[in-house]
A and B are shown apart, each in its own frame.
Chain A
Amino acid sequence: MKKIAILIFFASLQILWGESLSLWHAYTGEERKALEELAKKYEEKNGVKINLLAIPFDAFDKKLTASIPRGQGPDVFIYANDNIGKWVESDFLETLDYWMVDGTLDQLIKSTVLAMVYKKNIYALPLAFKVPVLYYNKKYISSVPNSFDELIEISKKLMGENKNIFGFAYENTNLFFHSFIHFGFNASLFDDDKKVKIGEQQSIDAMNFAKKMALETGIMPKSIDSALITTLFNKNELLFVVNGPWFMGDISKNISYGIAPIPLIDGNTPKPYMSIEGILMSKYSKKKESAMKFIKFIVSDESSEFRMRKGMQAVATKSTYQKENINPNFVVFQKQAENATPLSNNPLMSFFWAPMGQALKKVINEKYDSAKALSESKEELEKLLEK
């Protein structure tokens, strides 16, 4: 009993006097374990305790917005790049320019660094990128299709043999997953003058393609959400899926699957959204130098390799991909990343998710005309942007 009391006493002393940093993240599973181990390593090496706090992805922005301006936020936090613009405008983020004079940026993949730049200042260092790829069930599929026409053909053939299976699925009413078609057709969402561009012919073509896939080919299930995709794939009832790297964690162990870059769409290269996770520093942190030290530690070559091997992350550090014995899946992710659209960090972006999702729902669930659905969404967006 006494021993425990003494232990608690010293532990509390450690908390009171030991130097510490608070870090918020939205990681789960292996990624979280890897981050926790890295934090421990850092503590052993530098004597700085890293207090980790895992926050659900959906609640992250709200919690951050509520706590940072009141001085209760973290020193550093890890999140996708798409909120950077909004957070800069809200005055939450410290620019990292000041510390970047030692060439840290040169070790990182350039496209991922540029995704962290807002109004000429850099606000985060990229840790890893997440990009959707094509998953296929090896029980049925031996060779990967090169185009969607091929994919449809294979699916139809196999579905004819086995009534219980579906050919292809992706979350088709969600802009994030629709993006590989949308940007594949060279459509855009908005231009530099904040003009809404979703009513143009390219985006109509993209939506027509999504409509065709969902309604005419007959190879896709209806009312798709992520739970449905996981269930079907794990029951061996789904051949192809377009989904992000997080899907690997959902696939059960007795399913043998492979991944490949997304096949061509009517001759166009698909360009799915790539979300890039970065480590950011709060403007309200009182330990900025110490925080920067940790940030540099976590993007270093050594930690990046650890994150890739243990945390299964497609890391943004260049040198890691030249290491021996890395999982071949990462090469696929890197290949897909070459043809990907980084999520925009412009605050304008956050306006688009709901109206685009709405348009997709109209077209796919209610069989609307694509052009009409898009023009309605465009109108709504323009109204929103005016206010």
Chain B
Amino acid sequence: MKQLQKSYFIILVVFMAILQYMLYDRTLRMDRFEKGALYLKTEASKITSSIEKSDYQSVVPKTVEESKGYFSEIYLFSENQNSGYDFLVNRELKNHTVKKDLSDLHRKNLYDSCENPQKVTQFENIFLYAEKTKDSCIVFQMGKISLGEPSNGPLGYALIAILLIIAAIFVFNPEEKKNRIVLSIALLASVVLSFILSITDAKTVGYEKISEITVGNINKLMIIFAVMIILFSLFYITNLSVRCSNTLLKHRAPYLYIVPGGIGILFLSFIPLISGILLSFFQVRYNSYNFVWFDNYIDIVIGGLKDIANPKGFYYTFFITVVWTAINIFFHVSVGMGIALIINRKGLKFKKLYSIIFIIPWAIPNYITALIWKSMFHEQFGAINSALELIGFEKISWFSQTFTAFTANLLTNIWLGFPFMMVMTLGALQSIPEHLYDAAVMDGATKWQQFRHITLPMLKPALLPSIILGTIWTFNMFNVIYLVSGGDPQSKTDILITEAYRWAFERNGRYGYSAAYATIIFAVLFLYNQVTTRIQKKSEAK
């Protein structure tokens, strides 16, 4: 039996190695072809169009003389890139007869405009070959699951390494010490190998000239990966991993059932989270990524200190977010609980009807509610101002002052948020045993004392988790802020999440900066969650 397992493992490793090699080889070759061919084609087209007498003289160079500049660029390019292209021409074109089916006009122009016709045919060949091989490579694009275009390899390789580890745990019995050591070394080697492959991959593709990402940047990225990978390996060698793998082996079936869900979570939340965090280390300009270490964070957290009152800075927005969350939660809980207590009264008729009515704000999609509230706050035509006028107040221009705009947001979100708390409280109220109240009445307790000493303590365990949940929702309540006040006036009512959105999509695509914001929000909420669960546990222990 053991023998069989081992042979399985060996086959698996060999297969993985082959896959890895193919991935490495194909993605590498493809990129070189694709980029090179596109570059050459662009250059060639410049020549073609420049020769044609055109009405659009500002578009293209006027004369052949002028267009020679372009050609010398191609020439220089090919000289500089000799290693890459000669390798290509020598190795690949030997084995393939490439049909030259470019249009006659195109070729004629190319020939006419250059001093060295032979060079041109070579370009054409490369171009044609690249066009042809493109389709055959689709299968191998898996290696492109990565951070984006420039560094094709790393994440793909890391993914394979992880798969390998999981597979190995299933096949080998890690309880034996010998096995454990062999396994660790093999896996470590595999991880290191994939890491080295990624680096060579990135280096040889030669991105420097064509896209703006330099190899240096990729190396920096590699360092982070290396750290991650080493941490991962350490984790494996330590006891922790042994315990993990033991439970894995013991409960194979349940873990197998979890796998589909696990894969879903991996792709839908874990990978986006990781790539979001990684993105926060980059400065993004158009489609080029510059690795800037912690510059984004430093800019947000320390740069923000320079001007704390700046509504577009971190601290002001953070302050608004905290105030926003606190006031909201206060009203959600008090309004929700109040209504729940009223509905829960003994002998009240149409109880169900009431609870349905009060759930409606929650049941309607919140962006619709938000838009309706926004139009109700309109200065001239809104229902709220008309009502104010009827009572004898003056019309308020809601979104031109911070306080009123904030209030408008707040009213909308209280309307949206209290039903959740109400439902939670109602559920918990029904589980409070009646006899406690009977006993309290016997002892002569007032209604307030009953509430203070029976209802509240009994509600607490049900309410605390919903308050935590509600806090997280309100902290990230994008729809209300974005749709009702839209941050007006002057971004003064924006909260962190809308501010992050604006950095990415309204202030010219600063995705890295925005990702840093999002990571900070994540950190804040994570911390909050940790603290509150600790407090909750402590209070339960009492």
Contact = CB atoms under 8 A, between A and B. Distances in A.
A119 to B, nearest CB: 10
A11 to B, nearest CB: 23
Contact of B46 (A65, A71, A97, A366): A97
B286 A347 contact: yes
A41 interface: no
A234 interface: no
A384 B507 contact: yes
Interface stretch (A190-198, A199-207, A220-228): A220-228
Contacts of A236: none
B54 interface: yes
A113 interface: yes
B44 A114 contact: no
Contacts of B247: none
B397 A120 contact: no
Contacts of B41: 98
Interface string A103-128: 00110001001100100111000000
Contact of B49 (A90, A98, A106, A366): A98
B296 to A, nearest CB: 11
A29 B58 CA distance: 37
A130 B228 CA distance: 52
Contact of A361 (B141, B211, B375, B488): B488
Given A89-B287, A223-B380, A101 B489 contact: no
B257 interface: no
Contacts of A33: none
B287 A223 contact: no
Interface stretch (A139-147, A296-304, A318-326, A350-358): A350-358
Given A97-B48, A222-B397, A351-B508, A105 B55 contact: yes
A189 B61 CA distance: 29
Contacts of A97: 45-46, 48-49, 59-60
Interface in A328-387: 347, 350-351, 353-354, 358, 361-362, 365-366, 384, 387
Contacts of B44: 98
Contacts of B510: 387
Contacts, number: 100
Contacts of A163: none
Interface in B489-524: 489-491, 502, 505-510
A358 B312 CA distance: 12
B135 interface: yes
A221 B380 contact: yes
Contacts of B141: 71
Contacts of B397: 222-223, 365
B54 A384 contact: no
Given A98-B48, A358-B490, A122 B59 contact: yes
B144 A101 contact: no
B49 A101 contact: yes
B489 A95 contact: no
Contacts of A114: 56, 58
A125 B142 CA distance: 35
Nearest to B491: A358
Interface residues of A, number: 43
A95 B286 contact: no
Contacts of B399: 223, 365
Contact of B58 (A69, A89, A120, A387): A120
B52 interface: yes
A98 B55 CA distance: 15
Contacts of B42: 95
Interface string B138-157: 00010010001100000000
A350 B505 CA distance: 10
Nearest to A117: B59
A106 B55 contact: yes
A76 to B, nearest CB: 17
B1 interface: no
Contacts of A90: 286-287
A355 B333 CA distance: 39
Given A95-B42, A98-B48, A101-B48, A113 B506 contact: no
A62 interface: yes
Question: Quick one: which of A100, A227, A228 has the most chain B CB within 10 A?
Answer: A100
A365 B287 contact: no
B212 to A, nearest CB: 9
A350 B508 contact: yes
Give the contact-size bracket for chain B: 35 or more
Interface in A53-98: 62, 65, 69-71, 86, 89-92, 95, 97-98
B54 A222 contact: no
Contact of A223 (B38, B379, B490, B507): B379
Contacts of B148: 69
A295 to B, nearest CB: 15
A283 interface: yes
Question: Would you call the interface of chain B mostly helix, strand, loop, or mixed?
Answer: loop
Contact of B144 (A70, A91, A120): A70
Contacts of B55: 105-106, 110
Contacts of B82: none
B49 A286 contact: no
Nearest to A223: B379
A283 B38 contact: yes
A286 B488 contact: no
A354 B52 CA distance: 42
B60 A120 contact: yes
Contacts of A361: 488-490
A160 to B, nearest CB: 18
A366 B490 CA distance: 10
Nearest to B135: A286
B386 to A, nearest CB: 14
A353 B399 CA distance: 20
Contact of B287 (A69, A113, A222, A227): A69
A286 B56 contact: no
B134 interface: yes
B381 interface: yes
Interface in B194-245: 211
Contacts of B375: 227
B400 interface: yes
Contacts of B106: 98
A153 B349 CA distance: 62
B59 A286 contact: no
B29 interface: no
A88 to B, nearest CB: 9
Interface in B33-48: 38, 41-42, 44-46, 48
B68 interface: no
Interface string B359-397: 000000000000000010011110000000000000001
A65 B134 CA distance: 22
A95 B211 contact: no
B56 A117 contact: yes
B127 to A, nearest CB: 12
Interface of B: 38, 41-42, 44-46, 48-49, 52, 54-56, 58-61, 105-106, 134-135, 141, 144, 148-149, 211, 286-287, 375, 378-381, 397, 399-400, 488-491, 502, 505-510
Given A92-B287, A105-B56, A351-B507, 17 more contacts: A69-B287, A70-B144, A90-B286, A91-B211, A97-B49, A100-B54, A105-B54, A121-B59, A222-B397, A286-B134, A347-B508, A350-B509, A361-B488, A361-B489, A362-B489, A365-B399, A365-B489
26 contacts: A62-B505, A69-B148, A69-B149, A91-B287, A95-B46, A97-B48, A98-B44, A98-B48, A98-B106, A100-B52, A100-B54, A105-B56, A117-B56, A117-B59, A120-B58, A121-B59, A221-B381, A228-B381, A286-B135, A350-B508, A354-B502, A362-B490, A365-B399, A365-B488, A366-B489, A384-B507
A-B complex: 5 closest residue pairs judged by Cβ atoms: A98-B45, A90-B287, A97-B49, A89-B286, A365-B400
Interface of A: 62, 65, 69-71, 86, 89-92, 95, 97-98, 100-101, 105-106, 110, 113-114, 117, 120-122, 221-223, 227-228, 283, 286, 347, 350-351, 353-354, 358, 361-362, 365-366, 384, 387
